[in-house]
Amino acid sequence: MLAAVATFAVMDLSMKRLVETYPAIQVTFLRGVTSLPLLLAATGLLGRWGDLVPRRWTLHLVRGLLSVFVLWAFVYAVKLLSLGDAYAIFMSAPLVITALSVPMLGERVGWRRWLAVCVGLIGVLVILKPSGNNWISLGGLAALAASIGYAINALTIRILSRSDTADATIVWPLVILAAASGFIALPAWVPLRLEHAAWIATLGITGALAQHLMTYAFRRATPAVLAPLEYTALAWAMLFDYVVWATTPSLRMLAGAAIIVASGLYVFQRERRVAARHSATVGLQDPNAGKDFSQRRRVAEVGRTESNGEDNRTLGS
């Protein structure tokens, strides 16, 4: 899991370097089109072509189009913000997932988790408050919009998982992402430069590799164990900011990130307790009931969940 998080961070570093030259929507297209062949090749090597047959085309289409927005918003955010600032705001996604699981999945969220969600959103506001006369920057709004879209995308995976395979859930939204973003990017297309070939290749390789590492992690451990490890991405973001751009995190960013991370970890802990309590209550009557409850809560425990570790920003992302 730690390797997957680090690989995703390198992918985001590549996107930030590319968006310095190319429009955000073009970088979104490059993210999809470079990873897709690698994922398809892996599917072929594993002999799982039959798993790609989709059953709910409409929902795949919705998720694919939403993924275009999520990844574009995130790329636009890292263009205007440091990686650390964008990551800190984006890490509010698990809190948004918890809040949206009520209307979208019919989950019950106790007052303690609602309080943690509210506290975490205060952390977001701490980061969003810029200097000067403007209250919220465009970069901050883009990161927040990406976080909300990411949460919605994560929750829709739960619906798709009832009918479609994990491979279909990963590949088809990525196909739609590449096609739609490429069509949008075409009118303002900036010719690719040879000196950026290494960054483009890194973008595709790390995107595909990170998804497989995440898949492996979720097959070996529960989301409740893995979810807190995702916050190590913030350390990678701050390291890259310092090494590549000589940028150090502000006190406001560190304070807001600390609030968001603490709130997210508390929500994860509460989710584990609720799942354990539910298992203990109904386990004697139905041994599979606790397992089913845990499966339903996986989406609320971590953003990159279900479909064995899909990155919703890239569907992505």
Residue 168, Cβ neighbours under 10 Å: how many? Answer: 21
| Tokens encoding 65 | 């189009």
203 with 34: CB under 8 angstroms? yes
How far is the CA of 250 from the CAs of 83, 187, 241, 257, in angstroms? 12, 38, 12, 11
Q: What is the pLDDT along the chain (317 residues), one digit of tens a residue?
A: 899 999 999 999 999 999 999 999 999 999 999 999 988 888 888 888 888 888 888 888 999 999 999 999 999 999 999 999 999 999 998 899 889 888 887 888 888 999 999 999 999 988 887 555 556 788 999 999 999 999 898 888 878 878 888 788 888 989 999 999 999 999 999 999 999 999 999 999 998 898 878 877 776 776 667 778 889 999 999 999 999 999 999 998 999 999 999 999 998 888 778 777 766 665 555 444 444 334 443 443 333 444 444 444 443 34
Domains of the chain, residue spans: 2-301
Give the residue among 206, 196, 210 at the shortest CA–CA distance from 18: 196
How far, in Å, CA of 195 to CA of 178, rounded? 23
